[in-house]
Amino acid sequence: MDSNGSQIKSMLQNNSELMKILAEVDSLKLNNYYIAAGAVFQTIWNTQDKLPLMNGIHDIDIIYFDKKITQEDSLEQDKFLEKKLNEKFQMEFDIHNEAYMHLWKGRNIKPYSSCEDAMGRWLATVHAIGIKGQPDTLEIYAPFGIDDILHRIIRPIYHVDNSKILYDAKALKWQERFNGLTILQWETN
C-alpha cells in the first residue's frame, strides 16, 4: 500500500466507533463482505475537516455476496441483521446481498459477480470504497484508487448501469452536505 493508502488506513482506524462496528460485522462471517461507501469516505473527509469522525454519517452500508442463500432468505437475514446492529449501535444499518441487487434496484442491470464488481459499477469513484477485516488487519478495497476521495473529486463511473440523471442526483446530494467538492460533469458522447 502506498503512503496515501497508509494515510487512509490510519484515518479509518482512528474512528473507534467505525472500528467497533467493523469488528462486529467481521464476527458475522458474511461471505465476501465490506462496510462500504459513505461511512468510509465520510470518515476520511471528517478527519480532513477536523470534525468528529462519525459526523454526518447517518447510516452504515454493509454489502456481501452470497448466492448460496435464496433471495427470500437473504432479505430476511438482511432485515434481521439490520435490526440487531441498529439496536446494538443505535445507528441505522443498510445491509444488502449484492448477489440479488440487480433485482432490488428496479433497473435492468446485469447481475453482479461479487462485491468488488458491484463497487466498480457504482455511480462515483468516491463512493466506490469498502473495508473489511478486523481493526488491526483492516483491508481496503477501492477499485478506482483513493486520490479522488483525498481530493474530494466527485467523478462519474461510466458504466452501462449508470446514467447522467442518477449521477447528477447523487452529486447534488453530496454538494448539499459537504464543502470543497469538485464535481466533474457527466460527459455524453
- Asked if residue 184 is part of any domain, the answer here is no
Going by C-alpha positions, the residue among 47, 45, 78, 85 that lies closest to residue 63 is 78
**Per-residue pLDDT, 2:** 61
Q: Is 139 within the bounds of a domain?
A: yes
Domain that holds residue 92: 3-150
Which of these, 53, 58, 77, lies nearest to 66 by C-alpha position? 77
The pLDDT of residue 101: 85
pLDDT over 70 at 92, yes or no: yes
pLDDT tens digits, 125-171? 999 999 999 999 999 999 999 999 999 999 999 988 788 999 999 99
CATH of the domain at 108: 3.30.460
Q: Is residue 165 part of a domain?
A: no
Residue 110: per-residue pLDDT? 86
Which residues have a Cβ under 8 Å from the Cβ of 152 and sit 6 or more positions away? 45, 126, 178, 180, 181, 182
Asked if the structure places residue 161 within a domain, the reply is no
* DSSP helix/strand/coil, 53: coil
The model's pTM: 0.93
According to the model, what pLDDT value does residue 3 have?
A: 65
Q: What is the mean pLDDT of residues 115-131?
A: 95
Residue 160 in any domain: the answer is no
Q: Are strands 130-132 and 139-141 parallel, antiparallel or unpaired?
A: antiparallel
Q: Looking at the domain assignment, is residue 103 inside a domain?
A: yes
Phi-psi region of 186 (alpha: psi -120 to 50; beta: other; left: phi over 0): beta
Quote the CA–CA distance of 171 and 165 in Å, as a whole number: 10
Number of domains in the chain: 1
188 in any annotated domain: no
Position 174 confidence tier, pLDDT thresholds 50, 70, 90? very high
